[in-house]
Amino acid sequence: MRSSYLFTSESVSEGHPDKVADQISDAIVDLFLSKDPEARIACETLTTTQLVVLAGEIRCKGVYENGEWAPGAQDEIEKTVRATVKRIGYEQEGFHWESFRFENNLHGQSAHIAQGVDASGNKDEGAGDQGIMFGYAADDTPDLMPATLYYSHKILEVMAADRHSGAAPFLEPDAKSQVTLRYEGSKPVAATAIVVSTQHGKGYDEGAKEAELHAYVKSVVAKVIPAALLSTETVYHINPTGSFEIGGPDGDAGLTGRKIIVDTYGGASPHGGGAFSGKDPTKVDRSAAYITRYLAKNIVAAGLAQRCTIQLAYAIGVAKPLSLYVDTHGTGTVGDDKIEEAIGKIAKLGGMTPRGIRTHLGLNKPIYQKTAAYGHFGRKPEGDFFPWEKTDLVDDLKAALA
């Protein structure tokens, strides 16, 4: 591991067009799971100027069964989509929650996929697709996330809160951030560059208004990033292209699943390639990514390592994972093979089958729209939300290693 290096991560706001699409897709997941905890959903969303399009495969009791929509179901879907866009804050000429055109192209799940996933007879519920999933944790921050991504998310969260509250009325929903930190060993020691691009109201790209916006962004950065990391040598790029009045889906088309690195670890960890939003928890792209984060976070929280990467692999229709891989990057207090063995001994994980994961983490609930902006990881577990962020496996790991 290098002793001194720069590392960068980015984030995007809830108003970024791809994140608008993610939030709509997960709003549909939540809607269907609220009706039927065993619903099957694969919902993709396209957003562009005054248009939202849904496409994908579904199965849900009381909503869509035997190739037929229940009365009023499609109206409820449209209301859910419009409410999501309204909550984000889009009331612009080029994208307005009340007047955009809406298309619903969801249809029934393939019977050939269903037969592989559904439990029947002596067959356990299988994985909803093949694939590899990665989880990661590091002791950079209290939430055991890479510091570059953690601060990138927090900058935009504060700006969004100020926009919603009226404290920063010149802000519009679309924004991006990027944080570069210098590391010495495994610890961040200095913020070398901060990039923030934010959609703004008219006139905020010149004169005194531009100065106000720049001063505001720097004040947010100062709230989020520890003072010890900031200095006169920190370089700021705030709206470096100049004007950013046209944004959101009017400025650029948005698609579900295009911000998978923002959703996960900011590039600090490998990624299996599968997106999360729009998918019910039988899809291991989502549920197995959550269990690997849960395991990695608990391993670091238990003091077994400073950094940890975990990989799982699955085959469609097959319940048991094909492989488990643990890498503590030379920071482990015990061998990585011993940690792998310990994980296999913990009965409550249910062998990390799709059913075992969903049961242990309680994933068959409408808990997903909150995940679709500012990252799926490093969030505070509250009630049913973000259960994979709990550190309640520490004692089990220690006992399994005893």
Which are the catalytic amino acids? 16, 18-19, 44, 57, 176, 244, 252-253, 258-259, 279, 283, 285
Tell me the two tokens of residue 127.
Answer: 């994985």
Spatial strand order of the sheet with 187-200 comes to 4-12, 171-184, 187-200, 235-238
How many residues belong to the chain? 402
Calculate the CA 226 to chain-centre distance.
24
Supply the DSSP symbol for 109.
P
Cβ atoms of 238 and 196 within 8 Å: the answer is: yes
Distance of alpha carbon 250 from alpha carbon 326, whole angstroms:
43
Tell me the two tokens of residue 175.
Answer: 């924004």
Strand runs labelled E in 13-157: 40-48, 51-59, 64-65, 68-69, 91-92, 95-96, 101-108, 131-138
Q: What angle do CA 276, 280, 282 make, to 5 degrees?
A: 100
Cβ atoms of 196 and 177 within 8 Å: the answer is: yes
Supply the DSSP symbol for 127.
B
88 closest CA partner among 11, 171, 203: 171
Residue 70 neighbours by CB under 8 Å, 6+ apart = 62, 63, 64
Phi, psi at 264, each rounded to 5°? -110, -95
Cβ atoms of 20 and 94 within 8 Å: the answer is: no
